[in-house]
Amino acid sequence: MRIVILRLGHRVQRDQRITTHVGLTARALGAEGMLLDSDDRGIEKSISEVDSRWGGSFYVRRITNWKNEIRNWKESGGKVLHLTMYGVNLPDVINDIVTEKLLVVVGAEKVPPEVYALADWNVAVGNQPHSEVAALAIVLDRLAALSGTEPLKTQFSGGEVEIVPKSRGKEVREK
Ligand code: SAM
């Protein structure tokens, strides 16, 4: 399944770190890229530095009209999953999430009400408030498990370095 994240409501001063973590988590768990509803170039820069050093082709694309992005995505056959604590709890909906192309909407500040109507699924990762990073990680992991894939084993091609996994200590190898 192709997965792209749509990050809505990013505030340049407040959300820089958490939006970067949304992108890094999406990248590490198999998503192909993130659409960022903001003109903050800093996120794009820090994620592309991670790609250059650690490999892979995860992208960040700044967008100006999120409604058009959602409409275009749906017109091209994609489905939209909105992560919200008010939604249907993930264990109760996961088996319905069947598609080749999934746009996962993650909010920062209050999400506009239209998102709830445009989404195919409004999904809660438990109906309690917590973090968009945690919610995204759990939903990507559960979707991968359902499709029998293991995103944690992804090989990130290109890049300058790679980690040699060790039970103790740290080893990073130049490629
Ligand atoms: N106060 C904001 C509002 O009322 O929409 C939400 C702030 S919350 C920290 C930011 C994002 O985290 C939400 O838009 C949602 O995507 C995600 N999130 C937080 N808790 C969640 C949960 N239990 N399930 C799914 N997503 C959640």
**What is the CATH classification number for the domain harbouring 7?**
3.40.1280.10
Is 119 a pocket residue for ligand 1 (Cβ < 6 Å)?
no
Mutate to test the pocket of ligand 1, among 25, 81, 83, 142 (most ligand atoms within 8 A of CB): 83
Total domains present in the chain: 1
- Residues 31/140, Cβ–Cβ less than 8 Å: yes
Per-residue pLDDT of the chain (175 residues; tens, 9 = 90+): 999 999 999 999 899 999 999 999 999 999 999 999 999 999 999 999 999 999 999 999 999 999 999 999 999 999 999 999 999 999 999 999 999 999 999 999 899 999 999 999 999 999 999 999 999 999 999 999 999 999 999 999 999 999 999 999 999 999 8
Domain limits for position 37: 2-174
Task: Kindly give the number of the ligand 1 atom that is closest to the alpha carbon of 111.
Answer: 5
Residue nearest atom 21 in ligand 1 by C-alpha distance: 85
- 3 has which bridge partners? 102
Q: What is the pTM of this model?
A: 0.96
